[in-house]
A and B are shown apart, each in its own frame.
Chain A
Amino acid sequence: MIKVKNLTYYFYKPIRKEGLKGMIQTIFSRKKEVIKAVDDISFEIEEGEIVGYIGSNGAGKSTTIKMLSGILTPTSGSVTINGLEPYKSKSRKVVLKDVGVVFGQRTQLWWDLPLIETFNLYKDIYEINKDEYQKRLQYLTDLLDLSPFINSPVRTLSLGQRMRADLAAALIHKPKILFLDEPTIGLDVLVKDKIIEAIKQINRNDKTTILLTTHDMSDIANLCSRIIILDKGHIIYDGNQQVLKTRFGDIKHLLVLSEDKLNIDKIRTDLNNEEIDLNLLENNYQELSFDANKINSKELLKYVLDNYQIKDILINENSLTTIVKKIYEDIKQNS
């Protein structure tokens, strides 16, 4: 479906100097620095997959999406969608008919006009026939709960309403491929859930292939089985979410509320594992962290219950957020 091969995008930025003198120098200077926004990446996405595309700010995520959706032409390498390159002027219009894009930070809705006008406009642009359009519009209106504001001018919508409308606008022509660039940015929990649910349903019903960038790991955890992690234009991980967890340590945390002080040295020797850690948390819980691949949680739980007087006990899994944070930190230390 989507093939990305040795994709590279460089852009040139004039070197600016500080202050008034620097500004004047910049005007006449031809010095430029090369920014490698995306540097030789390759991957393939199959039909119906939902792929999370993550990376710290400036990692090259949006640049990749822009090349995939035909806005930017790669410096070298290629993107093909169903065998066609979206940034070539000849194939552009054909490819883009199957593509829907949402940029969370920018709207594609007609600002001064009622929301419905944007949908009508897209009906013409994508040449959707009348019956199909009505059906699709009804489906999306129900799915994203658009009816309360479908006749209001877009400029009067709240961010949550606008985002739902933006998603609907990207889906009105039943695209086979959907690119979402931070679709949940700045939204409250309820709207976010609604959007996540809608994306899931669209993927299930229409077999839509989805590539999603976000900084919110709960989006990824809820939606994507596959994750691609990007850093400084390079892919540093491409694979299953579960595998990511084992690879970067499947750390679990046992939280214990007890009058007794846990004896970490004794626990380590009794269970024959030196890697168990103990932390005292602010809410008086004592946290035992352990690698779930090396110690059975049942075993540890039994040991604690047998040896201490326990008021309360919880088990937390290491979240995707902590893993990704750890990966970003590792990268920062290594560079």
Chain B
Amino acid sequence: MKISNKIRKYRGFLKGGVLTCFAYKSEIYMWVISSVITTIITILLWFSIYKKDTTITHNGLTFYEMLAYLITANMVISAVSATNTFYELGTDIREGKIAINLTKPINYRSRCLSNSFGVLIGNTVLVMLPIFIISFLVLHFVTGLPLIKWYNIILFVISILCSLIIIDSLDFIIGQVGFFTGALFGIILMKDSIYQFCSGTLIPLSFLPKTISTVFRFLPFSSINETPTYILLGFFENETIVSQDYFYSLTGNSVPLTIVIKLGIQIFWAIALLLLSYLANKKINHRVVSVGG
């Protein structure tokens, strides 16, 4: 079968993913509200960390750059983690709906992934982009934050797609644990705390012992949020900011190489985890147990 035909088969799931974003009006409002609230809280928090002094830097970022980072990072993480692979797989298993999915001549993993792409697109267009554009323009005119460059947008798209594939594949693999345990809620808590800890959301990675933080920097989690955000805002072109990066000194103080390595780690993990998730999908058939005679 031609590849274009193969992709066409999953087009409907992509479209469905976009459409489900529009399905519940109140959910859209809640997304917007929670997004705004989270952003405001983090801004206030960092304002106190900067001790109201907008000239000093943390991790090479000035207060305004930090604001831009927080707003963008919040957008990125909300967009890529809005995918429902984990819940869908979980409920499919718990309610036995997985069975009906397996009677279709499609690959269940591809189905989940194309649906997630759809959700990412829908979510970005509907919620994230408007919020981002407004807050970015405000920052641009108030603080003189430089405008976004076109090549950074292209790199950003590659990077955020990698982030999506990483999160989606991890969710798919971990969601399968539901097959043996049925303890979805516990797994969700565990998964979220591991993600937060390893990505440095809970405690900045530099606070951890050196060996552990070094290992974490090579794991898929650390780049989910930071890499696309840095790329979009052009932080990688700013030597003061890049010089704070772990990989900067490792690459002999080369800015371009630092970006390549960070993007490379993302791409590596995206491919590796994607393959793993397809492998996990193969096992699904063996794990579906007969429910009721």
Complex Cα spacing A113 to B95, Å: 19
- Complex partner residue of B10 from A55, A61, A120, A124, CB under 8 angstroms: A124
Stretch at the interface among B18-26, B253-261, B264-272: B18-26
Asked whether A124 and B99 contact (CB < 8 A) given A59-B293, A97-B105, the answer is: no
Tell me whether A93 and B105 are in contact (CB under 8 A): yes
B104 to chain A, nearest CB (A): 6
Tell me whether B12 and A113 are in contact (CB under 8 A): no
A122 partner residues in chain B, CB cutoff 8 A = 12
Residues B1-42 near A (CB distance < 8 A): 5, 8-13, 15-16, 19-20, 23-24
A317 to chain B, nearest CB (A): 30
Asked whether A96 and B104 contact (CB < 8 A) given A71-B288, A124-B10, the answer is: yes
Tell me whether A87 and B285 are in contact (CB under 8 A): yes
Tell me whether B290 and A62 are in contact (CB under 8 A): yes
B95 partner residues in chain A, CB cutoff 8 A = 106
Asked whether A125 and B293 contact (CB < 8 A) given A71-B288, A89-B282, the answer is: no
Q: B8, B23, B105: which has the most chain A beta carbons within 10 Å?
A: B105
Asked whether A125 and B290 contact (CB < 8 A) given A71-B99, A106-B96, A113-B20, the answer is: no
Tally of A-B residue pairs with Cβ under 8 A?
A: 96
Tell me whether B103 and A99 are in contact (CB under 8 A): yes
Complex Cα spacing A153 to B16, Å: 12
Complex Cα spacing A303 to B36, Å: 90
Q: A108, A123, A124, A127: which has the most chain B beta carbons within 10 Å?
A: A124
Q: How many of chain A's residues touch chain B, expressed as a range?
A: 35 or more
Tell me whether B16 and A121 are in contact (CB under 8 A): yes
Q: How many of chain B's residues touch chain A, expressed as a range?
A: 20 to 34
Tell me whether A66 and B19 are in contact (CB under 8 A): no
B181 to chain A, nearest CB (A): 11
Tell me whether A11 and B290 are in contact (CB under 8 A): yes
A117 proximal to B (CB < 8 A):
yes
Asked whether A106 and B10 contact (CB < 8 A) given A63-B293, A112-B23, the answer is: no
Least CB separation from B107: chain A residue: A93
A16 to chain B, nearest CB (A): 13
Q: B16, B24, B103, B105: which has the most chain A beta carbons within 10 Å?
A: B103
A52 proximal to B (CB < 8 A):
no
B252 proximal to A (CB < 8 A):
no
B10 partner residues in chain A, CB cutoff 8 A = 124
Tell me whether B286 and A9 are in contact (CB under 8 A): no
A143 proximal to B (CB < 8 A):
no
A73 proximal to B (CB < 8 A):
yes
A126 proximal to B (CB < 8 A):
yes
Complex Cα spacing A63 to B292, Å: 8
Tell me whether B285 and A73 are in contact (CB under 8 A): yes
B11 partner residues in chain A, CB cutoff 8 A = 124
A117 partner residues in chain B, CB cutoff 8 A = 12, 15-16, 19
A106 partner residues in chain B, CB cutoff 8 A = 95-97, 99-100
Least CB separation from B10: chain A residue: A124
A58 proximal to B (CB < 8 A):
yes
Least CB separation from A124: chain B residue: B12
- Complex partner residue of A96 from B9, B103, B285, CB under 8 angstroms: B103
B106 proximal to A (CB < 8 A):
yes
- Complex partner residue of A125 from B12, B97, B99, B100, CB under 8 angstroms: B12
A103 proximal to B (CB < 8 A):
yes
Complex Cα spacing A46 to B151, Å: 62
A254 proximal to B (CB < 8 A):
no
A101 proximal to B (CB < 8 A):
yes
A194 proximal to B (CB < 8 A):
no
Tell me whether B103 and A101 are in contact (CB under 8 A): yes
A208 proximal to B (CB < 8 A):
no
B102 proximal to A (CB < 8 A):
yes
Residues A193-232 near B (CB distance < 8 A): none
Per-residue interface assignment for chain B, residues 103 to 141, with 1 indicating a CB less than 8 Å from any chain A CB and 0 otherwise: 111100000000000000000000000000000000000
A37 proximal to B (CB < 8 A):
yes
Residues of A participating in the B interface, judged by any CB pair closer than 8 Å? 9, 11, 37, 55, 57-63, 66, 69-73, 87, 89, 92-94, 96-97, 99, 101, 103, 106-108, 110, 112-113, 117, 120-127, 153
Q: 11 additional contacts, CB 8 Å, given A59-B293, A63-B293, A127-B5?
A: A57-B292, A70-B103, A72-B285, A73-B285, A92-B105, A99-B103, A101-B100, A101-B103, A113-B20, A117-B15, A121-B13
Could you show 9 A-B contacts with beta carbons less than 8 Å apart? A57-B292, A59-B293, A69-B103, A72-B288, A89-B282, A112-B24, A113-B16, A120-B12, A125-B104
Residues of B participating in the A interface, judged by any CB pair closer than 8 Å? 5, 8-13, 15-16, 19-20, 23-24, 95-97, 99-100, 102-106, 282, 285-286, 288-293
Q: Which 5 A-B pairs have the closest CB atoms?
A: A121-B12, A58-B293, A112-B23, A96-B105, A93-B105
